Amino acid sequence: LQHERTMIAGMGSGPGGGGGSGLRSPSVVAKKYAGEVDGKIADPSLREAVAAHNMNSRAFGLTVQRTTDEAKAGAPPGPASSMFKYYGTEQNKRKYELLLQAMGTQALGWEGDAFEEHELSITREWLRSKANSIEGGTSEVQLNIIAKRVLGLPE
């Protein structure tokens, strides 16, 4: 599972941090659906949530990139991949929750002319993000691995 976890942890988390681009970017989506004032997201609480998400995504992406560079230089995969899998999964779920929060009722569609294609796609991707916490070991299993193997906590 170590290699599977490493692969899952790195999905969409390059140096850009996996925040998404275009209509997958929380910033772009929030401006489109919540509006913008002077180039900023109009809703201050949504703006704060998007900023926090972007900072976390960027930090995560850079950390994954550094670990990837170390692996390319010959370092074996270590316990970081379990932490990356867990954090990446949770960050991805938070991203889609944020997109849904920004989109409001337009995030509730499954089909139909009342919804744009990207809205339907984001709804499906939000549902799909829930499966990420099962693939490569559930989030609970990942936390147990981190507690025992990384932190050395007793059982």
pTM: 0.79
Tell me which long-range contacts 145-154 makes (C-beta under 8 A, separation of at least 24). 145/79, 145/82, 146/79, 146/82, 146/83, 146/86, 149/79, 149/82, 150/79, 150/82, 150/83
| 51: in domain | yes
| 38: in domain | yes
Structural domain including 107 reads 2-150
| 18: in domain | yes
pLDDT for position 58: 96
- Tens of each residue's pLDDT in the chain, 155 residues: 454 544 544 544 444 444 566 788 999 999 999 999 999 999 999 999 999 999 999 999 999 999 999 999 998 877 777 788 889 999 999 999 999 999 999 999 999 999 999 999 999 999 999 888 888 778 888 888 889 888 889 98
pLDDT for position 79: 74
| 32: in domain | yes
pLDDT for position 16: 43
CATH of residue 94? 1.20.140.10
Around Cβ 67, how many Cβ atoms within 10 Å? 20
pLDDT for position 12: 44
| 155: in domain | no
| 76: in domain | yes
Task: Say how many domains are in the chain.
Answer: 1
